[in-house]
Structure 1
Amino acid sequence: MKDLAEILVYIIVTGIFLYSVILICFYIFIGINSINETREYLNKNEITDYRLLAASPHAPSVSILAPAYNEGATIVENVRSLLSLYYNKLELVVINDGSKDDSLQKLIDAYQLEKVDFYVNYRIPTKEVKAVYKTKHPAYSKLVVVDKVNGGKADALNVGINITSNDYIICIDADCILEHDAILKMVKPFLEEGDEKVIASGGVIRIANSCEITNGRLTRVYLPENYLARMQALEYIRAFLLGRMAWARLDGLLLISGAFGAFDKEIAIRCGGYNTNTVGEDMELVVRMRRYMHEQDIPYKVTYIPDPLCWTEAPETATILNRQRNRWTRGTIETLRFHKKIFLNPRYDLLGALSYPYWLFFEMLAPLIEFVGFIVFLLLAFWGLINWHMFFAFLLFIIFFGYLNSIFAIYMEVFTYNQYRRRKEIIRLIWAALSEPFFFHPFVVWAGIRGYFDFFRKRKAWGEMTRRGFTKPKEQV
């Protein structure tokens, strides 16, 4: 019996060690590729004059689709921000997904909206559209507001796709604040496409908590005062500036954030639009579009823009953050399950050989492996089967490598876009990184485990995502 236990311990320890080594190698690989991709992007766009694109009559027509559900706290200011974007052929479609608050009425009052007759071409099946609103005010001529029966975010986005007649769609969250030139930079990859058709493009998401927002525009950037929001600011820098950029270089992106992503509308329609049977509709659509292009043997690519273009309000309470991460976990599981055909399938090239396996083992399964590993550790400690010298050496190595990865991400931020210009804020980001393994990371793992529980319970709900709204912060010194 003792020999069997020792063999079991050896297998578990070896498995965890190999998993960690492979993950560390991936992080180093991602870091190197992110450096190269960011450098190439900065050099390539250093002399680009986006004003020419903005005024060009040949610029493609773009529609921003902004689904809104109970966004009354921020909706008017956010729509004002979107209407001020620097682009000529632009339409803003706000889809009120059966809100229970005063979101629709606030829009009607603020933008002098009137109900109009509008034919909806249901190329993608959706819930019923109750009304379409426009205004005669010339300053708001780009705005279209759709009121529909509640069907969830994916259904609302599909309504937006049906409503618009423009060439490209940009899907955002209604609580986002975009930089004035965000559309110009997102559209540029579509104009530069050669033999490979650009089917989607993503942008960097940043945290707007504690930032100064005036008349729907971000006027000054501050590091979030709230601890959870500050941890998410660090997490987003690491994920977008390192992870997404590296996968973009390899053309292996499986995810474009639902908070800010651009798509070729016709390809999205051919693929059936957003899937209403998952809470991870953003990731699922990207994977389905990529599958479609592979199966039709059409050369394509998915691009990513490292400029800080979109600012969003991050959850500041454990309850709301838990709901968000729970949903992300369920969405990842659903997407990878829907498209399991890709896994190690040579027909899908790098998508099947590298991207899908990475997401399966190091994104989807990561919280489960960590949780099971912790339970096994407690059992082995109870049975006295742990070599404590090896354990602490291995633990310290993992923690310090995590610190190194976070410090590297902060370094990349400072020496590229440098949004947090005060030394005090950089120090606070570093302190946030030091606390992450002991507070924030365990919380995220537990939220992921709860996501697994809810997935197996077939829970489909998004969970209420209460917004505080953007407010001008107190003077910071």
Structure 2
Amino acid sequence: MITLERIINSSEFFFGCYSIFYILVYIILAISSFYEIKKYYINKYFLHKDVIIKSNNALGVSIVAPAFNEGLTIISNVKSLLSQEYPKFEVVIINDGSTDDTLEKLISEFDLVKVDFFYIEKIKTEPVKGHYRSTNPIYNKLLVVDKVNGKSKADASNAGINSTKYSLFICTDVDCILRRDTIAMLVKPFLESDKKVIAAGAALRISNSCTFKEGMLYESHYPNNFFARFQELEYIRSFIFGRMAWSKLNGLLLVSGGLGIFDKDTVNAVGGYWNKSLGEDLELITRMRMYMHEQKKDFEIKYIPESLCWTQVPDDKKVFIRQRVRWARGLIQTLVLHRKLFFNPKYKKTGLIVFPYYVFCELIVPVLEAIGLVVLLLNIYFFGINIPFLLAVSFAVYSFYVLITLSSIFLDQMIHKQYSNLKEVIQLILMVFIEPIIYHPLNVYASLKGYTHFLLQKEKKWGEMSRKGFKTAN
């Protein structure tokens, strides 16, 4: 006879085994990440970025940046994108049916006129109303695409990809600030690898409290906003111990939508971004990997452990929760859509390692945490519990979580020396100890809400994050 006590005991055994498995996975990722970062910096100057910048045979790169109601910051952001130190690039801004003065400001500031443009719709999008170029030769690298609103970044990005002229394109957000050598740094993997590189990414940083001058980073500061501070920790950990580890294993399934460079032929072959996706960056890379496996072609997706992009993040609870709900829904949507990958040897590493990792270590973790809490409360209520043992186990898990984050901060500071003073580093470290107690539960709540919305097929909403502009230096 199955009793409540037997169910709880079995659950405790399962959660114990799963916790050990989860910790071992993170230890492997941490070690892999350390060696990949070390390898990167040893080889960094074999092909110096200055050689690429001064080359007469540089690969052409298009920067694709969708814009919807970005009138507040659009001019400074476009000027920043045009400031790249690279010989062969263009900036493609997609006005995605803005209802504010975004397009009018672009036309006025950059002397734009509507031009005849040979537009081939390789990826289907909402109708494009026109293309604009500048009459001022200073802005000859700028192309503005005006289109009907497609209700997603994916649709706008696809229209931009259709309008590009180069074989590589960088997809970013128009509110992002790029380092001036961003293109040169992102192009390097395409030149160095003996395999076909289909995408590459780099570390993002939070711009909320940073100071900018003439479209470039002037002073980097640790955010002074409560929610942004936790997100800074999250970004450091995910890029140092997440993306770099998977880069070493050639198992990246995600290149951030804030900054990524892609091989256009491969993107076109898979049909571009899926405009119904709520996690379009994750879903695109998944399809690209599937395509390369099906074509039986060797490929790589690389990550660079350098901060090349600064982006604004939500600084209030409502917007933050809405963003994380969308991310969680995008995750489960992608994994369900491409479930045939799960332990499928046809897709090699992607099917046997990477996809199962996202199922077991990303998707179900919030669910297991919620179930574990219920099991714990039932155990305490009906049978009592060994409190000293519970505290010891909880402290061990908490310590491991803190150790991973502190190690990420140490590596980040050793490499980048990101912050302007020691006080900010100390503030960052102090937040590490309260993150598991305050911030992590919010993420779990948002994930469960996102999964629920997906299962109930609630109306899909991308939502907006209001822009506050950048703090500028005098």
TM-score tier by shorter-chain length is over 0.9
Q: Are the counterparts in 2 of residues 64 and 91 from structure 1 also a CA contact under 8 Å? A: yes
Deviations 1:308-356 (A, max 9, x none): 1011011111111111111110111111112111111112222112111
Q: CA deviation at 1:47?
A: 5.2
Q: For 2:147 and 2:377, locate their aligned partners in 1 and report how far apart those are by CA, in whole Å.
A: 51
> Is 1:167–2:167 an aligned residue pair?
yes
Residue 289 of structure 1 is matched in structure 2 by 288
Residue 454 (structure 1) aligns with: 453
Is this contact kept in 1: 2:218–2:473, CA < 8 A? no
* Structure 1 position 361, deviation (Å): 1.3
In 2, are the aligned partners of 1:210 and 1:472 still within 8 Å (CA)? no
SS at match of 1:437: helix
Q: How many residues align?
A: 472
Match of 1:463 in 2: 463
Letter in 2 for 1:356: F
Q: Does 1:181 align with 2:181?
A: yes
User: Which residue of structure 1 aligns with residue 126 of structure 2?
Assistant: 127
Separation of aligned partners in 2, 1:47 and 1:301: 19
Shift of 1:357: 0.9
Q: 1:100: Cα distance to partner?
A: 2.1
Q: Which amino acid aligns with 1:393?
A: A
Distance 1:245 1:226 in 2: 27
**How big is the shift at 1:473?**
7.7
Unaligned runs of 5+ in 1: none
Unaligned residue ranges in structure 2 (runs of 5+): none
Task: After superposition, give the CA deviation of every residue in 1:56-89 in whole Å (9 maximum; x if it has no partner).
Answer: 1211111000011122222211111100011111
Amino acid at match of 2:469: G
Give distance in 1, aligned partners of 2:325 and 2:376. Answer: 24
Q: How many angstroms apart in 2 are the aligned matches of 1:364 and 1:143?
A: 40
SS at match of 1:438: helix
Q: Is the alpha carbon distance of 1:385 and 1:207 closer, same or farther for their aligned partners in structure 2, counting shifts above 3 Å?
A: same
Return the alpha-carbon distance in structure 2 between the equivalents of residues 322 and 22 of structure 1.
29
Counterpart mapping for 1:75-114 below 5 A: 75-114=74-113
Q: What's 2:396 paired with?
A: 397
1:249-398 matched pairs, under 5 angstroms: 249-398=248-397
2:157 corresponds in structure 1 to: 157
Partner Cα distance (2:455, 2:468) in 1: 32
Q: 1:362 Cα shift?
A: 1.2
TM-score normalized with structure 2 length: 0.97
Structure-1 separation of matches of 2:378 and 2:96 = 48
Kept in 1: contact 2:321–2:446 (CA 8 A): yes
Give secondary structure in 1 for the equivalent of 2:174. coil
Partners of 1:457 and 1:132 in 2: how far apart? 40
Aligned amino acid, residue 173 of structure 2: D
| CA deviations over 1:124-177 (Å, ceiling 9, x no partner) | 111000121111111111111111111111111110111112110110011100
* CA drift at 1:445: 0.9
The answer to whether the 8 Å contact 1:211/1:473 transfers is: no
Partner of 2:65, secondary structure, is strand
Counterpart in the other structure of 2:35: 36
> Are 1:278 and 1:460, in contact at CA under 8 Å, matched by a contact in 2?
no
Distance 2:5 2:386 in 1: 12
Contact 2:80 2:178 in 1 (8 A): yes
Deviation (angstroms), 1:55: 2.3
- Counterpart contact for 1:212–1:473, Cα < 8 Å: yes
For residue 12 of structure 1, what is the aligned residue in structure 2?
11
Decide which moves more: 5-14 or 236-245: 5-14
Query: In structure 1, what residue type is equivalent to 2:386?
Result: N
Distance 1:149 1:372 in 2: 45
Cross-structure match for 1:235: 234
Tell me the CA shift for residue 421 of structure 1. Answer: 4.7
AA partner of residue 292 (structure 1): Y
- 1:219-244 per-position Cα deviation (integer Å, ceiling 9, x unaligned): 11111111111111111010001110
Helix, strand or coil for the counterpart of 1:253? coil
Superposed, 1:59-70 pairs within 5 Å as: 59-70=58-69
Is 1:132–1:144's contact at 8 Å kept on the other side of the alignment? yes
Deviation at 1:382, TM superposition (A): 2.7
The one-letter code matched in structure 2 to 1:175 is D
Shift of 1:123: 0.9
Amino acid at match of 1:427: I
Tell me whether 1:148 sits opposite 2:159 in the alignment: no
